[in-house]
Structure 1
């Protein structure tokens, strides 16, 4: 089997928002109990080289993972990687999703990122039917797609780029021609005061920053079919699926709390959540959706309930902010994005302080916030994209231990010379230099820090201050989640 994905590599990557611990947490917030991560079955459609699934599988050796993709080249590369990493609970199949089958209700989580809006109508229908047939009674399916109305603007950019590459078949020449055209048009629009042209310029410059593989397959692909959210929900319902929520923190906030826009839009929506979120997409000119679905039947409870946070955990890189501008009785914290969050609630402040001290390890919400106001405030951190919510913590911490053990997938990637490796936090980490990759590959749990110093002293990194460098690297790796915490 050969197809366009064998002609030009797609930039497959780990995506934290596809992880079952996050999908399960969102299901619980909406009143649905999801399958526990450690014993679940996961299917990814369009899995590529399987790196996203492999990262999950490392953290749940008793769970089972299956990836399906059309690209023989990507599947072959993925099988090589998972063999090198010793991942035994992941199977990659090269197949068309229309031909894939499994026992009914056999998957607790189904992930389909970057497939639906780039596939023919019959494949779109087959994907939803597959989810309706294979999702378990407590399962969650995540389907991402380009959304309307925002993608009307992207369609305009796509039109001019397709005109520029007409007749060009070879991938590298097509990408080069598209980039040249995009640069030309962006420059022409830059001097204009016209609002539409300025919007096109911003979209085109954003487009220019994307990887070649993404441009070739997503933006220049044969099929580009942005969707109305309400249409996707309607088609999912026909397959026995209910919409849970979107896997976007800002949209989760709109599902949990009534906003001013909710009240103002009642004449248009009649209080229906689907109609409201479609109206919200029109208001915000949304470009993209990551919609979550479950089996139809049981009622959904979307509005916030403090009790539904029990059993969940939160991870947040917060640091107390000491400044003369902080008023008396006020507590302020810096966030990872250099933002600031402040409060006069001592209970919320205490919870944020504990989160910051524990980072990168997540803490159980039950342990840091007992009362409803503090719980609601912590969930607002997630809604503001300042924290990650999950059903269980990742096995990370600030201490790499006496015999450091790095993520086996990351070590395999380092041995293969890859510049980006995978952390226990289900995220990508960029590594620079052969010495750094060599050092990471050494962290297999058999070497003490002294042994690591000896091993690195004989490399190009030198000998004088090797111990300090080793200890600093271990501290950084632990913070990034590359090493497993001895306390986990």
Structure 2
């Protein structure tokens, strides 16, 4: 953790992951809900977005595959991350994405176009105060007026309970010998043995034993970057807001729409207490204290314009939405980080039925008698919950869909070829969403077989078996290729009946 890494974990790559939080349509929806005018460029698709500290760059690559009119600038100082991102971009024909191997200081010296949006996922908590100051300068200099910043970070007071565990892991890994993944495994087991003793901090901190148990199932790559960086800081929201104010930024709201609904987590009395604060940053910090929040995903705007209530309603009513699951897969109750939330059938039933037939604007949904009877506020609330939980998504405008489809087809073709060897990013570009869609390796092999006009079960088994992957059912492992191929044929029939039609509607093929 020395030299060029500046205290950041080196020698072990971060996990590959796609984050939908800063997809353009979702950013616009979250801002509109809070009464802010979204950047025009986000709505027309010709935006410039920078992801600073991009890891493997998967989010920027998938978004670039789904938004050909946009320009993406993704940087990370880990050369192996950028090498892999550049290879994916080259294979996928992404002429609108640049992946840069730079430190924050080097990137700050780079000239470039004004930025409409910037994503800072996690790095705010994982870098030094000096590097945070550099990031603020980049935002001050390059974020366009009206631009938006997504920033996520470990939050106080909820993270307080995790700090002793993090210290245990750091010290045990530093004292150990051998490859870092082995040291991480031993450190987690040591923490589990301490927790089994009970008493002390373990007795007074809720959820620590469960967290340690969850770490046993996490990859060492995740644990290394989540816990072992030399700089690891949790923040009160007010302190983040004050640092970003130096770049002329102000807090716009939670990036996850449902986190804008105070009544999901706060009693009326608690809401009233938070509202007593004259400073919005203090009010938001009070909400974190009242909910013991440990992680935040925030949006900040630079010179953001406030919408009138009439303008907000017009923009919301013009927003299109699509389902990401079959209508009959919508639950009656959803388990969320905020607890179990009911989905009232009177709203979610007709809403699921309408969106199951295809994308609809909110205005069109409100014209349906069954939904009109529920009222605009109830329908908007239902869409807020569905989009936040991944059952639905807001959509970009229809203009440019053919262009988005052509680029997504090229990019997805390259990604599907990777499913042969298991080098699977795990997401494909959806031109309808302007975002990504999760896909398993087997589903990817089925789509690849359709492109090649090959038998899907045979093709899938040929590549899975080459990697030593075994299939089974009901706890029994299949011993013969014939059984495995028959199982894959059964899975393909189910895929064709339910999943493939939905993917096709999203433009994923």
After TM superposition, is the score higher than 0.5? yes
CA distance in 2, matches of 1:110, 1:296: 15
Number of residue pairs the alignment of both structures matches: 456
Deviates more, 1:144-153 or 1:251-260: 251-260
- Matching residue of 2:503: 481
Alpha-carbon spacing, 1:336–1:84, altered in 2? closer, same or farther (3 Å) = farther
Deviates more, 1:244-253 or 1:152-161: 244-253
Contact 1:453 1:466 in 2 (8 A): no
Q: CA deviation at 1:177?
A: 2.2
TM normalised by structure 2 equals 0.77
Equivalent of residue 239 in structure 1, options 236, 247, 253: 247
- Matching residue of 2:86: 79
- Matching residue of 1:164: 172
CA distance in 2, matches of 1:182, 1:390: 43
Contact 2:14 2:225 in 1 (8 A): yes
Contact 1:42 1:109 in 2 (8 A): yes
CA distance in 2, matches of 1:21, 1:230: 27
Contact 2:320 2:394 in 1 (8 A): yes
Structure 1 residue 179 corresponds to structure 2 residue 188: yes
- Matching residue of 1:298: 305
Alpha-carbon spacing, 1:262–1:302, altered in 2? closer, same or farther (3 Å) = farther
Unaligned 5+ segments in structure 1 are 322-331
Deviates more, 1:73-82 or 1:289-298: 289-298
Q: Aligned runs of 1:196-345 on 2, under 5 Å?
A: 196-254=204-262, 260-261=268-269, 263-265=271-273, 268-270=276-278, 272-296=279-303, 298-299=305-306, 305-316=312-323, 317=325, 319=327, 334=332, 340-344=342-346
CA distance in 2, matches of 1:122, 1:153: 26
TM normalised by structure 1 equals 0.80
Contact 2:415 2:424 in 1 (8 A): no
Alpha-carbon spacing, 1:260–1:93, altered in 2? closer, same or farther (3 Å) = same
- SS of 2:176's equivalent in the other structure is coil
CA distance in 1, matches of 2:263, 2:140: 23
Structure 1 residue 410 corresponds to structure 2 residue 454: no
Q: Aligned runs of 1:418-433 on 2, under 5 Å?
A: 418-423=423-428, 424=430, 426-432=436-442
CA distance in 1, matches of 2:17, 2:460: 33
CA distance in 2, matches of 1:392, 1:116: 29
CA distance in 1, matches of 2:116, 2:314: 23
- SS of 1:61's equivalent in the other structure is coil
Equivalent of residue 19 in structure 1, options 3, 14, 23: 23
Contact 2:64 2:71 in 1 (8 A): yes
- SS of 2:38's equivalent in the other structure is coil
- Matching residue of 1:67: 74
Q: CA deviation at 1:265?
A: 0.5
CA distance in 1, matches of 2:411, 2:15: 24
Contact 1:6 1:73 in 2 (8 A): no
Deviates more, 1:336-345 or 1:37-46: 336-345
CA distance in 2, matches of 1:366, 1:313: 9
- SS of 1:202's equivalent in the other structure is helix
CA distance in 1, matches of 2:283, 2:162: 24
CA distance in 1, matches of 2:254, 2:18: 19
Q: CA deviation at 1:130?
A: 1.4
RMSD after superposition: 4.0
Structure 1 residue 351 corresponds to structure 2 residue 351: yes
CA distance in 1, matches of 2:274, 2:309: 17
Q: Aligned runs of 1:428-447 on 2, under 5 Å?
A: 428-432=438-442, 437-444=444-451
Alpha-carbon spacing, 1:173–1:458, altered in 2? closer, same or farther (3 Å) = closer
Alpha-carbon spacing, 1:82–1:372, altered in 2? closer, same or farther (3 Å) = farther
CA distance in 2, matches of 1:365, 1:94: 42
Unaligned 5+ segments in structure 2 are 463-480
Deviates more, 1:120-129 or 1:161-170: 161-170
- SS of 1:210's equivalent in the other structure is coil
Judging by fraction of residues, say which structure has more helix.
Answer: 2
CA distance in 2, matches of 1:304, 1:184: 58
- Matching residue of 2:13: 9
Q: CA deviation at 1:312?
A: 1.6
